Amino acid sequence: MLILGIESSCDEMAASVVRDGREILSSVIHAQADVHAPYGGVVPELASRDHVQAVSGVVARALVEAGVEASELDGVALTAGPGLIGSLLVGLSFGKALAFRLGIPHVGVHHLAGHLASAQLGDAALAAPFIGLVVSGGHTALYRIEADSPPVLLGETRDDAVGEAFDKVAKVLGLPFPGGPALAAAAEQGDETAITFPRPMLDRPGFDFSYSGLKTAVALAAERRAPLDGAAIADISASFQAAATDVLVTKARRALAAEALPRLAVVGGVAANLRLRERMAEAGAADGFEVVFPPLSLCTDNAAMIAAAGAQALARGERHGLGLAAFSRVPLGESPWADGAGR
C-alpha cells in the first residue's frame, strides 16, 4: 500500500510516500526559518502564504524521489489538526483535491498520532502497549498507547509546552531563530549546575507539567545578569535545559512505574535534544525500561509520520469525505469526526 502523507500544521510544508506504513520512500520538507527569523517566531499569515506557494512543488518532489506516479497511490493522509488553521487548510485542501482527482481514499490524521507513529517508523520492533511522551513546540503530554484502543491521556502541560519554553528562553537570551536548537548548542558550552532553576510540579503527584514559571524564572535571572556575555548565556541555557529535562525524565519514570510498562517512546521536536536523550537513556538503564527515540529526521514535523499514521487508519477502514475540516484543538483520542462530520 502506497500512501502519500501531507503535513502543514505549522511552518513546514512536507510530503512523503510511505509503503505499507513502515518503509519511507521519500520525505520532502520545505522549511520557513528564513521567513520567520526577522520576527523571532512563526507568523501564521506568512506561514500559510508560503505553504500556498510551496505545496504543489513539495508533493511533486516527494513523488519523484519515491519513484512513484500519482496514479500508483492507494491513499492520501493529511494532517487535519491541531495546528494553525491557515496552514492546515493549505495541505488539507490540496490533498483532498488530489485524492478526489485520483479516485482514491483520503484520511485526516491527528498531528500527535503522527508523532507517535514516528517512533514505530524508527523502530519496527516497538509494539503497544507503551508510554508515549510527546514533547514539541505546542505539546507536552504523556499517553498510554494501546494497540486496539484510543490513547489514554495520563498528564499534560497546564500552560506552556516545553518546546515553546525552549524557544521563548532562547529569544530572551538573544539566540537566533529557531530557538530550541540554538539554545541546546549554547548549553553545550555551559555549566548546568550554575543556576538552580525551579522544577515546576516535580513534587506534585500525577503526570501534569508546567513550564510558564520556569520560563519566567529564566527571564528574571537573565535580567539580573544583564548585559549577558557568552559565558553567562551558556550557563543560563545549560541550567534551563537541565531543569526542563529533569521534569520530563521524572514524570516519564513515574508514568512507567504507575502503568507497569517497560517501554517509553519519546517523540516530537524536543525529542531531538541530545541532553534529553542522554538523561532518558540513563534513567532507562537505572530503572530497567526501554526508551525509543525516532531518528532525528523524524522528530520535527514531517509527512512520513502522517503517512504512517494514515496507513494505520486506512487499514482500519477509516475514510473521510470532502467535508473533512481542519481543527485547531482536539485532544488526541477524541476524534473530531466522531459525530460523522467530514465523512
pLDDT at position 178: 87
Confidence of residue 133 (pLDDT cuts 50, 70, 90): very high
Q: Looking at residues 151-168, what average pLDDT do you find?
A: 95
pLDDT for 342 beyond 70? no
Confidence of residue 336 (pLDDT cuts 50, 70, 90): low
Domains and CATH numbers, the chain: 2-115+301-315 (3.30.420.40), 124-293 (3.30.420.40)
**What is the value of pTM for the model shown?**
0.92
pLDDT for 19 beyond 60? yes
Mean pLDDT of the chain: 94
Q: How many CA atoms lie within 13 A of 286 on its CB side?
A: 11
Phi and psi, residue 150, nearest 5°: -60, 150
Q: Looking at residues 152-166, what average pLDDT do you find?
A: 96
pLDDT at position 149: 82
